[in-house]
Amino acid sequence: MVSECHCERVQLVSNIAQDKTTAQISEIFDYAPPEGKVIVDIAIPTLPDEYQIGLIVGSSGSGKSTILKTVFGRTGEEVSWDNSKCIASNFKSFDDASSRFGAVGLNSIPTWLKPRCALSNGEGFRADLAMALHDGAVVDEFTSVVNREVALSCCVSIEKYIRNSGMKNVTFASCHDDIIPYLKPDWVYNTDTHEFYSGRYLCRPKINIAIVGCTVQAWDMFKRHHYLSGSINKSAQCYLGIYNGIPVAFGAIIAMPCGTLRHAFREHRVVVLPDYQGMGIGNKFSEAIAEAYHKAGCRYFSKTANPRMGEHRERSDLWKPTSKNRAKRRDYLGMTKDYHGMLENALVHANRSCFSHEYVGDGVTHNFRYGDAFGEC
């Protein structure tokens, strides 16, 4: 419901010195500040005492920053980085870093291991936001310096984090109203119209990802974003996830070289481009491909060290853990034969604890075919 917000009209006055420049401006443009002062007449809304997410939205110059400073005493959080360390090491622990990066959709492991000064504009925005999050945080110019894909995906992941963690009174200010159904704020105050309403139950637009078969050469677009290796098995069956005509996700599947399992495949690579991380594309994309193989009568396995994907599978009925789930593969140390180049890789990762699952599906019939263009997620 949209309603008028109770506002208090406030005049903010700043004295300015009169000099040759002000006199010249006044003469040329036939304008002079009244009595040598700049007066800003602004409406300060009465905001709820307790909430989880609040959003002040409006055009540039409409008073958003002034409201933040008047109500909260500041327009943002002080964020500092030690560039002699990677960004992950700037947090108090690995778990803290992993949780906060997941909250802002910064899920690229190579990015975690870079210093702040080496990040792109979008990566830096997410990293700064991860550092700034806490009860009562104030964030001005939210999403103003990033493209809209980064903005919307970040809103989705940060809304989930704040809700799930029980964080209170986090307030954002932005000139972009397209983020409202993605951020789902408890309240929205529009500085242009003075309307006050809840965005908590707005429906997010659907994200349709078309999945098509591709050659292994498409991996070149994604390999630097993979958290383990830029290499790929040349015999892999590969797929692209297409969003609005743009390739945003890549998946590769290989046959399992096992004498005891027939028609068994495993997930070899899954990557979502950083600008599109945080919206759940990776999990849906992976499961759509898995479903296609499953319905074709194949067994489908996947192992990942990515905590976000692994924890999703731990909670999902679509996956069941294997006997090696979250166990260090010390059995790799006993390998003596090289199966298609696996020996060296196995020995390197013998001490890593990974999530290991088999896709079991939901019992619903899907018209997917593996090895070809087969549907949407």
DSSP string covering 320-347: EE-TTTT-B-GGGGG--S-STTHHHHHH
- DSSP code of residue 52: S
Tell me the CATH number at 286: 3.40.630.30
- For the chain, the domain total comes to 2
More confident residue, 316 or 3: 316
- Domain boundary residue, one of 151, 169, 197: 197
In a domain, 25, yes or no: no
Instruction: Report yes or no on whether pTM surpasses 0.85.
Output: no
pLDDT > 70 in the chain, percent: 82
> The tokens of 200 are what?
């908590």
Provide the domain limits for residue 285: 210-376
- DSSP letter string, 113-135: TS-GGGS-HHHHHHHHHHHH-ST
In a domain, 307, yes or no: yes
- Domain boundary residue, one of 197, 232, 248: 197
> Residue 37 has what pLDDT?
64
Distance from CA of residue 89 to its chain's centroid? 20
Neighbours of 365 (CB within 10 A): 7
In a domain, 24, yes or no: no
Are 105 and 153 within 8 A, CB to CB? yes
Q: Identify any residues that bridge with 40 across adjacent strands, giving them in sequence order.
A: 12
> Residue 343 has what pLDDT?
42
Q: Do 219 and 136 lie in a common domain?
A: no
Residues 175-203: tens digit of each pLDDT: 999 999 999 999 999 999 888 999 888 88
Mean pLDDT of the chain: 84
> Residue 1 has what pLDDT?
44
- DSSP code of residue 336: -
> Residue 190 has what pLDDT?
93
Residues 248-301: tens digit of each pLDDT: 999 999 998 766 778 899 999 999 998 888 888 999 999 999 999 999 999 999
- Domain boundary residue, one of 197, 222, 257: 197
> Residue 2 has what pLDDT?
46
CA 92 to CA 146: how far, in whole Å?
A: 27
Q: Do 140 and 231 lie in a common domain?
A: no
In a domain, 23, yes or no: no
In a domain, 317, yes or no: yes
* pLDDT band, very low/low/confident/very high, at 42 (cuts 50, 70, 90): confident
Q: Do 146 and 275 lie in a common domain?
A: no
Q: Which of 21-30, 104-113, 148-157, 185-194 shows the highest mean pLDDT?
A: 185-194
